A = this chain, B = another copy of it.
Amino acid sequence: MIATRFTEEFGIQYPIVQGGMQWVGRAELVAAVANAGALGFLTALTQPTPEDLVKEVGRCQDMTDKPFGVNLTILPSLKPIPYEEYRQAIIESGIKIVETAGNNPAPHLPDFKAAGIKVIHKCTSVRHGLKAESIGCDAISMDGFECAGHPGEDDVTNLVLLPVARDKIKIPMIASGGFGDARGLVAALALGAEGMNMGTRFMATQEAPIHGNVKQQMVENTELATELIFRTLRNTARVASNSVSREVVGIEAKGGATIDDLADLVSGQRGRKVFETGDTEYGIWSASGVQGLINDVPTCQELVERIMQEAGEIIQGLQIATTTV
């Protein structure tokens, strides 16, 4: 048991979050995370329509009585996404915690607040965190340079980013990026966060709805097995190292590549197929260096219990070290 402002204000047993992950954040995983006492998020845009999202929330509610949330990632898109309808689907489903990511969530806040929904906004910089606080978000989830997916362009690691953010931002902060075990949880709390987010680590669980080959690949991969793509487009993403991501890095290294040049290689549908077929070389999929800390594929319950158990032991060890003469 570790009590923080996050566990208290959000009513979650443990200070562990499984934030939004495209194609991964489905009911099976989110319900398992919730049942384990942590906070999971369904990913709204993994569902093709708002109606499908309503059904997915219902499926998850059928599998757990504990709180869970929905991630709404707001991105510029060629094909317009009906964000208002997704938002309405979230509200009508009875969800009480939303994780927003991408663009400024301000347009969505009045409706969420009116529905009594708490909003955690994902940020990659102190500046974005201050903005999220100023517009009324209830918490931030701060992504350091080490995170899978989009770390922003500042390249500030969580070891520095979290305490700097803590000194300037008052609302609860979830530490995100590079976290996969109890050592990370205690570090996150020491650095000023009220909880930690795990993405990559939750992908390598029994309940994650992705092919076993992908989980096994993460077990085998080391901390070095990531690539940063889209650096040259100033839309950096950290993804698992494979032939496709390395090809993208190679094309970008030559200079002048546009998103059109890379569109086929980085198609989200290819990433989705990786998860469905287990062909880890087929497309781009997000993962962090936390792969180097993954040695098994436990259930979410086993993972969360192990982390909480070991975190208690680490804190006990620190306490003993401070009292030893």
**Interface size of A in residues (CB-CB distance below 8 Å):** 55
Contact B158 A157 (CB under 8 A): yes
Instruction: Give min CB distance, A124 to chain B, whole Å.
Output: 12
B interface footprint on A285-325 (CB within 8 Å = 1, 0 otherwise): 00011101100000000000000000110111011011111
User: Is A178 engaged at the interface, CB distance under 8 Å to the other chain?
Assistant: yes
CA distance A255 to B252 in the complex (A): 13
Instruction: Give min CB distance, A140 to chain B, whole Å.
Output: 16
Contact A314 B190 (CB under 8 A): yes
Contact A160 B293 (CB under 8 A): yes
**A318's closest neighbor in chain B, by CB?**
B315
Contact B164 A325 (CB under 8 A): no
Binding site for B on A (CB under 8 A): 1-4, 126, 144-146, 154-164, 166-167, 177-179, 181, 183-184, 186-187, 189-192, 222-224, 228, 255, 288-290, 292-293, 311-312, 314-316, 318-319, 321-325
12 A-B pairs within 8 Å (CB atoms) are namely A1-B322, A1-B323, A126-B223, A146-B160, A156-B223, A157-B158, A163-B184, A183-B192, A187-B187, A187-B191, A318-B318, A318-B319
Give 18 new A-B contacts, CB below 8 A, not counting A1-B325, A189-B321. Answer: A1-B322, A126-B222, A146-B159, A156-B223, A157-B159, A160-B288, A160-B293, A161-B289, A163-B181, A164-B223, A183-B190, A183-B191, A184-B191, A187-B187, A187-B190, A187-B191, A315-B319, A318-B319
